[in-house]
Copies of this chain bind each other. A is one copy, B any other.
């Protein structure tokens, strides 16, 4: 039943409390998810994490530890970020209930990463920029601060519910003739484009970041396959060659 859930990684970015890591592992396992990634955890491994994991110690012991978020995301073809706040630039955003069926469909085609931010202040803007979709749990305006592991439980619960619905409806992923580009490949495309833009000097430096965010948002919506990424990079290389010749 869980082949799609197996393709979803839960990524905790800089979690402070080991108890939350353990509780998140337990929340995942109760909903049939098993792949946990920890980016720069403050204290791990730790007995508190073990204790709160209860029957999900196997999820903890198989957790991947990453120094950089990009390392955790390298294989992902679809990245989802959880957020409590509205942001300056509009991004694709959905509730867990609306996002879950889409996330599951993506997981049938490739690896999906679901990011959760720090207990105190969530994901940073540059981390949210790496996401195709932002998910916001509809919390009380009076007190909306969900515990980290609780947010993991709610998202995993919606993913499991969507998985059950999907199997009952017999829905299947759309076929696609090429594999989807992975996070790392798309990042190389961005880096390539950015260095080209800098060499073009057509924008003042302080505007580069804004333009790059808009481009990220756009490419995020395209979700390019590997052939499309190669093609775009080929075009960039051709432009560079032309510039150097001139």
- Give the distance in Å from the alpha carbon of A139 to the alpha carbon of B26 in the complex: 11
* A150 to B: closest C-beta gap in Å: 5
Contacts of A145 in B (CB 8 A): 26, 30, 54-55
Chain A, residues 131-155, CB within 8 Å of chain B (1/0): the string is 0000001111011111101100110
- Give the distance in Å from the alpha carbon of A153 to the alpha carbon of B145 in the complex: 12
Q: Which residue of B lies closest to A165 (CB)?
A: B97
* Cβ contact within 8 Å between B161 and A54: no
Is A49 positioned at the interface, with any CB of B under 8 Å from its CB? no
Contacts of A164 in B (CB 8 A): 138
* A7 to B: closest C-beta gap in Å: 16
Partner of A140, one of B31, B54, B138, B143: B31
Q: Is the interface of A mostly helix, strand, loop or mixed?
A: helix
Is A199 positioned at the interface, with any CB of B under 8 Å from its CB? no
- Give the distance in Å from the alpha carbon of A31 to the alpha carbon of B150 in the complex: 12
* Cβ contact within 8 Å between A97 and B161: yes
Is A29 positioned at the interface, with any CB of B under 8 Å from its CB? yes
Contacts of A76 in B (CB 8 A): none
Is A160 positioned at the interface, with any CB of B under 8 Å from its CB? yes
* A22 to B: closest C-beta gap in Å: 10
Contacts of A161 in B (CB 8 A): 95, 97, 138
Is A101 positioned at the interface, with any CB of B under 8 Å from its CB? no
Contacts of A146 in B (CB 8 A): 26-27, 30, 153
* A96 to B: closest C-beta gap in Å: 8
* Cβ contact within 8 Å between B31 and A147: no
* Given A145-B55, A154-B154, CB of A30 within 8 Å of CB of B140: yes
Contacts of A183 in B (CB 8 A): none
Is A110 positioned at the interface, with any CB of B under 8 Å from its CB? no
Known: A30-B139, A157-B157. 17 other contacts (CB 8 A): A26-B145, A26-B146, A26-B150, A27-B146, A27-B147, A29-B143, A30-B140, A30-B143, A30-B146, A31-B139, A55-B143, A95-B161, A138-B161, A138-B164, A150-B153, A154-B154, A154-B157
A-B contact pairs, 17 of them (CB 8 A): A23-B150, A26-B145, A26-B146, A27-B147, A30-B146, A31-B139, A31-B140, A32-B140, A54-B145, A54-B147, A55-B145, A56-B143, A97-B161, A138-B160, A149-B150, A153-B153, A153-B154
